Chain A
Amino acid sequence: MRVSTSEAAVRERLTRALRERDAEIADRWVELQLEQALLGTDISEAELREEADALIDALVPGLESGAPVDRVVTSNSGLQEAVVRLSMRRARGGATPTVTSLAVLALKEALLKAVQRETRDAEELFASAVFINRLLDVAGALSFETYVEGREEIIRRQSQQLMELSTPVVRLWRQVLAVPLIGTLDTARTQVVMENLLQAIQDHEALVAIVDITGVPTVDTAVAQHLMQTVNAVRLMGADCVISGVRPSIAQTIAQLGIDLSAILTRATLADALAAAIKLIDGPGPDGDDGEGR
């Protein structure tokens, strides 16, 4: 009985402090974050203040809802959103997850300080500290969770974008497409290249596809095999494939590894490959040889 009365009293005191001393709490919280260097990112003081105001504003209705202290943050949508938004912003800004949740937890100190201004009673202060801890530990955990989710989402999106961006299919000439490959050619990448290239061949009714490997640092057996797969898939579609950008060092490696690329038309530069491609399209003669390199 005494305990619950005291918790209600603590809750009421805290709510009143939040209402009456909101500016003071926000200032102190921003100050603490700046002092403890809990940002690791270029968030301005104005932005910090904005975040602080939003969170403190949301705490009042959260406390007044009467939810159990350790469920105040998660049961109030406004409060939850304020924590999530703050954490997401830090995640995008490149702060570490630990620093981000510590920043949220620094609010504890700011809150307790405000309560301290109202009372000097040790027992009440102790009860307030316990209450504030239980209230904001949940916010810290939520912040950490949001941060990790946010980073994961960013990483997923970026790696997908990178994959798509790094395998653009461009139309060089009527019925001639090119894929400039940059970086390595592993199994996952090969699958994306093949999918994009073959779809583009069908869409453009292309007759020749040039795969440019100028930007591929090394060609080992695995990369050569992936190139062969790509060439074979293009041929199955009924188009021809030319590989360009074969540098002398890569040609040597290919020879040393004993990889047989003899069935594939290769050229040193993209320009040479385009010339070869146009020749393939125009055809060597009016009939007969259709230019298939088999």
Chain B
Amino acid sequence: MALPGESALASWGRAVPTSAEEGAPAPSAHVVRTEEDLLTVRHAVRAATVEVGFGLVDQTRVVTAASELARNAYVHGGGGTVTIEYPRRPGARGLRLVVKDDGPGIADLDAALTDGFTTGSGLGHGLGGARRLMDEFTVQTGPGEGTVVTATRWTAR
């Protein structure tokens, strides 16, 4: 798939504040290299959901989705980064997870997204499940290209 966000990807790994968003916390990037990092990511995302003002159920949805995506990057992508962003739009605050790995990429994205819904086996990529927990969900991937998952949940829809 195409990578239209080439320039945006250049800022990976650094916490670059998006100056346009007044009052919103600066994005933070978290490296996922070990199992312990998965816990760290969960803690950071939990704190971010509280900061944004999500209710308990939404907090649980977003942290669970983050856990799935971070584990994907760790297991299938050989590690990666999770960046937490705080988008705004009129009448709603949001939390955006950008999960990137430099792994082999996903050859059949459609299969990866539908996998596991009915079987509930917990195998596969867990992408479909994470997508159902978030309001917006996009994947940039291809064989040999690595994978970038961008997932957002809003306080009001």
A interface residues, Cβ below 8 angstroms from B: 188, 191, 195
Contact = CB atoms under 8 A, between A and B. Distances in A.
Nearest to B58: A191
A191 B157 contact: no
A195 B157 contact: no
A202 B148 CA distance: 39
B57 interface: yes
Nearest to A191: B57
3 contacts: A188-B157, A191-B57, A195-B57
B17 to A, nearest CB: 31
Contacts of B57: 191, 195
Nearest to A232: B120
A191 B133 CA distance: 11
B91 to A, nearest CB: 9
Nearest to B120: A232
Interface of B: 57, 157
A188 B58 CA distance: 13
A191 B132 CA distance: 12
List the 3 shortest-distance A-B pairs measured between CB atoms, nearest first.
A195-B57, A188-B157, A191-B57
A210 to B, nearest CB: 22
A191 B157 CA distance: 13
A195 B60 CA distance: 12
A160 to B, nearest CB: 11
A243 B57 CA distance: 24
A188 B156 CA distance: 11
A153 to B, nearest CB: 12
A188 B154 CA distance: 13
Contacts of A195: 57
Contacts of A188: 157
Nearest to A194: B57
A133 to B, nearest CB: 32
Contacts of A191: 57
A245 B15 CA distance: 55
A92 B157 CA distance: 25
B135 to A, nearest CB: 11
Nearest to B156: A156
A81 to B, nearest CB: 25
Contacts of B157: 188
B35 to A, nearest CB: 26
A195 B55 CA distance: 11
B8 to A, nearest CB: 31
A191 B60 CA distance: 13
A188 B157 CA distance: 9
A191 B58 CA distance: 10
A195 B157 CA distance: 17
A285 to B, nearest CB: 30
A255 to B, nearest CB: 20
A191 B56 CA distance: 13
A230 to B, nearest CB: 14
Nearest to B61: A191
B79 to A, nearest CB: 32
A110 B40 CA distance: 69
A221 to B, nearest CB: 14
A99 B115 CA distance: 56
A195 to B, nearest CB: 6
Nearest to A152: B91
A118 B26 CA distance: 63
B3 to A, nearest CB: 32
A191 B57 CA distance: 9
A197 to B, nearest CB: 12
Nearest to B57: A195
A188 B57 CA distance: 13
Nearest to A198: B57
Nearest to B132: A187
A174 to B, nearest CB: 27
B99 to A, nearest CB: 24
B30 to A, nearest CB: 28
